A and B are shown apart, each in its own frame.
Chain A
């Protein structure tokens, strides 16, 4: 029996990073197969809060986040679908003078790196952006030209656009092992063999399965960030809002519903693909939301959910070539803030696959930083 498929590149994982890498590889004329153990966007990519945020990123992420933002602004030209992308301010609220001081230091740091997108807001400027914010909030930090999108719709759009360029998707197909034979990578799956010259590992919380088999284990932790959504409220908030001293991510969608997240975690089980909510934790999310926006005291929660996401111990992703195997490239472990990076990192991965190098400053994300210390 011949292989299931033969391509220039096999992408492992059908989340936004896998779909974006596949699309960008196809745009460079490579033939691509994507293998996904569930369905496209089943986990973090389909169910995240949808924030398209540069604000508050780890300094190492700022350049690639800024690059990805440029792609988001012309997302419809890239994937033939607007992905529900809306330009909006991202605001981090300071609930005390001490928090505002922290934000001021942060703004100075970002300016020092040569980026101007994060601006400090005083009391009045904060209220210009967030008229409904609680009285105790003293200011904030904003990135005015960020936004949000609809996660499943966006990932599905990347898949469809990739398909129109000939990318083949093998869903409900699980990679069991990979091995190199001459210049050909062979991926054994539960539905047959995939053969390719290069492999891109975008397997999210499951990214270590590929890395470990190459002898470069990476400590990915499966986490399940939880979210809540309310019944529609009258329009009161146009920006995407976070807090400084406690977890919060908050936004009102165009239909009036409010999505509240911010990183409080449920229970993730990557073996069974399941995640459970913990309402003893979510009540804190509800409290924070009502304290930052008093109008939320009248809201009703319609649904809560969580998705499985891969987190690295240093909260920044693994991006770049394998340090052990030739023609394998990693992009996983985005630590609950990878959605915005999807378009940009996919483009960087395609550049790596096609040319072997990239100008993007990805050195801090090398998998080599997790060298075993035996």
Chain B
């Protein structure tokens, strides 16, 4: 199995990249874990009933057009396909339908989007504690809302959006508890003039806040010292706000501290990453065509740095243009003209980001968890153990991983990686860039041993003779 371009992820970036490249005549294969296009943001967008679509709002419905254009583009599509390894020659190892095979690609667009930032807090591993993103997936994909009023706690635009969507679905949250510190709005306000240039985002935010007030959902601001209480199961959230301790009972607590790029594939490929102080996470180092430090590996969408769905689609198209440029498959002037238009829209859409990043910076409590708080859920390693390992001389996350097993469980460090980097950096008095991140090893997600035992490598797939060298296989300077 071979293709010119492999795309991983069928969110807005992956759909846009695959569509644009296929339109230009490249043989494209898009791999996605979900059964239908849309990614997390537009999950189930092709099949969602009209009533739920109305509930989720016009921004969500916009995903349907992307999905339709992708379906019409002629790009190969592999739904339900988990890419579990990509090697340095761009052989893509994937599992689909219980079978693992290999596809040889000439270029790769990584469009694996964002993950919710880990939120290590006391009690965050109790049953009944979930994330805002997980609740939203249940709503989008299955029309499920919690039977008990959920507490939404943390920071970030998704918190308000979810509260609004749940309220309109008839399941208003019991409370929204925001951890944005007092005074942060004022600090962030210097980004306000720029943000006003972005279409519609601020108005949407204000509309949601008003709607929550009307619905009588309590909104607690500037909360600190969050503790999820409960023995076998979450029972309540307690926190300090307005100078006193609060306790709100619910068996369902959804945490959120914003989203961060999913680095698993780019780390696996050893792309260079840089620490972003404003987003408090690592971003792949990319050129203006979204190509990483590893040749022919492009990164689009939120995986390139959090920018939201509209920017993701624009970046996906730009990355596709980058691929076409690499292959010399598009005339230079036409390429520059199309890219110029996309870049201008990208600048406009991104104008709101500095405000959001400043306002919704993650709370100090999750960046520097208390010693007894579990950081690695898979292997049950606490923040205190990590600090102790640093005091013994562990210089970075990989040594802490070897020493304490943090990041060695089935999640491959997705749930603890950034927290471990931050804790080690703080303890050593270094910046996260110096401390760096876990080395990621395949498989990216757990793989049945018997499936690996019958793995079909490209060289032993029948009828997979090497294709004739494509005439356009020359790299642009």
- Which A residues are within 8 Å of any B CB, using their own CB? 39, 41, 46-47, 151-153, 156, 159-160, 163, 171, 228-231, 274, 276-277, 279-280, 282-283, 286-287, 289-290, 296-305
Contacts and interface: CB of A to CB of B under 8 A. Distances in A.
Contact of B455 (A39, A152, A163, A283): A283
A296 B449 contact: yes
A160 B392 contact: yes
B270 A304 contact: no
Nearest to B394: A156
B409 interface: yes
B165 interface: no
Contacts of B85: 277, 279
Contacts of A276: 87-88
B452 A286 contact: yes
B93 interface: yes
A171 B395 contact: yes
A39 B395 contact: yes
A21 B363 CA distance: 47
A152 B409 contact: no
Contacts of B454: 283
* Cβ-closest 7 pairs across A and B: A152-B402, A280-B457, A286-B453, A286-B452, A300-B446, A283-B455, A287-B453
Nearest to A159: B393
Contacts of A47: 402
A303 B441 contact: yes
A302 B396 CA distance: 22
B449 A297 contact: yes
A116 B452 CA distance: 39
A271 to B, nearest CB: 14
A302 B410 contact: yes
Q: Is the interface of A mostly helix, strand, loop or mixed?
A: helix
A300 B449 contact: yes
A279 B448 CA distance: 13
Give the most central of B393, B396, B412: most A CB within 10 Å.
B393
B408 interface: yes
Interface string B436-458: 00000111001111101111010
A194 to B, nearest CB: 20
Contacts of A286: 449-450, 452-453, 455
Given A282-B452, A296-B449, A303 B457 contact: no
Contacts of A156: 392-394, 399, 402-403
A290 B453 contact: yes
Contacts of A163: 393
A228 B408 CA distance: 12
Give the most central of A46, A151, A152, A160: most B CB within 10 Å.
A152
B467 to A, nearest CB: 20
Contacts of B450: 286, 290, 297
Given A283-B454, A290-B450, 14 more contacts: A152-B399, A153-B402, A156-B392, A228-B449, A279-B442, A279-B457, A283-B453, A300-B447, A300-B449, A301-B446, A301-B447, A302-B446, A303-B408, A303-B442
Contacts of B442: 277, 279, 303-304
Contacts of A160: 392-393
Contacts of A301: 443, 446-449, 452
Contacts of A302: 408-410, 412, 443, 446
A152 B405 CA distance: 11
B1 to A, nearest CB: 14
Contacts of B443: 301-304
Give the most central of B396, B403, B447: most A CB within 10 Å.
B447
B459 interface: yes
B86 to A, nearest CB: 11
B88 to A, nearest CB: 6
Interface in B268-317: 270
B270 A299 contact: no
B455 A279 contact: yes
Give the most central of A47, A153, A171, A283: most B CB within 10 Å.
A283
B402 A46 contact: yes
A277 B447 CA distance: 15
A277 B441 contact: yes
B99 to A, nearest CB: 12
Interface string B351-387: 0000000000000000000000000000000000000
21 contacts: A39-B395, A152-B402, A156-B392, A156-B393, A228-B449, A228-B452, A279-B455, A280-B455, A283-B453, A283-B455, A286-B455, A290-B450, A300-B447, A300-B448, A300-B449, A301-B449, A302-B408, A302-B410, A302-B443, A303-B408, A303-B442
Nearest to B93: A279
A303 B412 contact: yes
Contacts of B395: 39, 171
A36 to B, nearest CB: 11
A301 B442 CA distance: 9
A159 to B, nearest CB: 7
Nearest to B450: A297
Interface in B397-422: 399, 402-403, 408-410, 412
A277 B442 CA distance: 8
Contacts of B449: 228, 230, 286, 289-290, 296-301
Contacts of B394: 156
Nearest to A291: B453
Contact of B441 (A159, A287, A305): A305
Contacts of B408: 229, 302-303
A247 to B, nearest CB: 15
A280 B412 contact: no
Given A39-B399, A152-B402, A279-B85, A231 B457 contact: no
